[in-house]
Amino acid sequence: MLYNLAIIVLGPMFLLRKIKRHFSKKTAYEFLRHRWTIPVEGGEKDDPNALHVVFVSTGFGEKHTTEQLTAALKEVRPNVRTTWAVKADATVENIRQTSPDQSVTYMPFDFMPSVALWLKKLRPDVVVSVEKLWVPNIIWCSRRWGAPVVVVSGRRGRFAGGGAKGSVWRNINHWTLCGYNIMGLQSEIEIERLKAVLPEEVDTRITGIIKISRSAAVRPTFEELAAWLESRNPQKLPIIVAGSTTFEGEEKFVLEAFEKTRAQVPCLLLLAPRRLHRVDEVQQIIESRGLKVGRRSEYPSQITSSAQPDVLLLDSMGELSSSYSFGQASFVGGTLQGPGHNVFEPLEWGVSVCYGPGDGKTVPITQTLAEEAGVGFRVHTPEEMAQKWTRALQDVAWRESLREKCEQIMEEQRQALQQNLKVIVEMIDQVSGKVS
């Protein structure tokens, strides 16, 4: 109650922050009315009396993880039913299109009235938070409802309660984590980062990081994606894939590296901005450098020329993971000024990955693992990235050795999937009475 009272008192400040975020990044999900009304779609074929597991996640990256966990769970506990509660509206819409039988709704705003309605509608038996630790109302209201809560592949996220955050944040975050029944964290690094707020009484385990999504990436549109790439690449040039770029400076960084690379080796760039509302802006950035653009949305009806474009612009939802399979080198964005996005996506297809220097504060565990395996490369300049890309395109033996190393990482990923699945199954069995 005190936590929710604080939300009310500080509401004007939170609202101003969200308004600013909405106009700058178009991601103020608190303005989505569906996060308050909680509409549920899909799942008509599910047994309404079956034990109900609700997965809570943020966006598209976590959606891949949820898909993997759900598929693995249905293999060992086929009688359970699942609902995915997702924060990002574009991800919810994508799930409705690609997995119409899957029950899906919105992650509620972390405020007691919204969470109470969410619980009343879903009536979960087990709540699983995917990666995200800091959802206090969802954790504690679910516990009050009678549904145990676990986190899988958990990571620290934005607030760990240390240093400048002061004693107030440490107390709030410690209280939040006390609500979990089991905490499955990504690595020892996360335990070290959380030690100031980690409750001794909570069952805490290292279950590994899940960023594998290959089986989830092959969509009904995969063949159409392949046909688009073939139609726009008549010269059959090698492809470099740059995904999840986030701002103009990052696109310019990528384009400069691409121009330097193709001066050495003729090649094609496939560029996918993180936010689809930026696609027109990105096209203008590309064309301002004298490069020809071919857009995914033009295929097949709007293609009027068979000429070879220089840059293919991926302006579709949910196809980036598949696109890496056509590349021979890659870049993952959000990394010039921040921690970035999932660098494991290209590795799943045996493609080495470059990424920027970040913000110098926190290095994501995925980047650390990629570097330790010798398949991830932190670059500071377009020249550095062009050197890596050029070698990947020219040196077949090196490229194949990288592919073998990528497969080793994927095997570790499959083991992590099983470790995280074990946490969920253990909780299900306790609820169902199979384990005393």
Identify whether residues 220 and 181 lie together within a single domain: no
For residues 105 and 103, give the distance between their C-alpha atoms in angstroms, rounded to a whole number: 7
- Looking at the fold, whether 223 and 99 belong to one and the same domain comes out as no
pTM score: 0.81
71 and 144 belong to one structural domain: yes
Look at residue 186 and tell me if it is in a domain.
yes
Q: Is 312 left (phi over 0), alpha (psi -120 to 50) or beta?
A: beta
Q: Which residues are CB-neighbours of 415 under 8 A, at least 6 positions away?
A: 208
Domain assignment of residue 289, given as a range = 216-394
* Reported confidence tier of residue 221, pLDDT bands at 50, 70, 90: confident
Q: What is the predicted pLDDT for the residue at 110?
A: 87
Q: Does any domain span residue 258? A: yes
69 shares its domain with 23: no
Confidence of residue 436 (pLDDT cuts 50, 70, 90): very low
Among 181, 208, 235, residue at a domain's last position: 208
67 domain residue, yes or no? yes
Question: Same domain for 265 and 311?
Answer: yes
In this predicted structure, the answer to whether residue 28 has a pLDDT above a threshold of 60 is: no
With a cut of 50, say whether residue 212 has pLDDT above it. Answer: yes
Same domain, 132 and 269: no
Same domain, 190 and 278: no
Condensed to tens digits (0 to 9), the pLDDT of residues 317-364 reads 889 989 999 999 999 999 999 888 889 999 999 999 999 999 877 788
d(CA 66, CA 424): 12
The structural domain count of the chain equals 3
Residue 399 within a domain: no
If pLDDT is split at 50, 70 and 90, which confidence band does 114 have?
Answer: very high
Is the domain of 339 the same as that of 225? Answer: yes
More confident residue, 66 or 299: 66
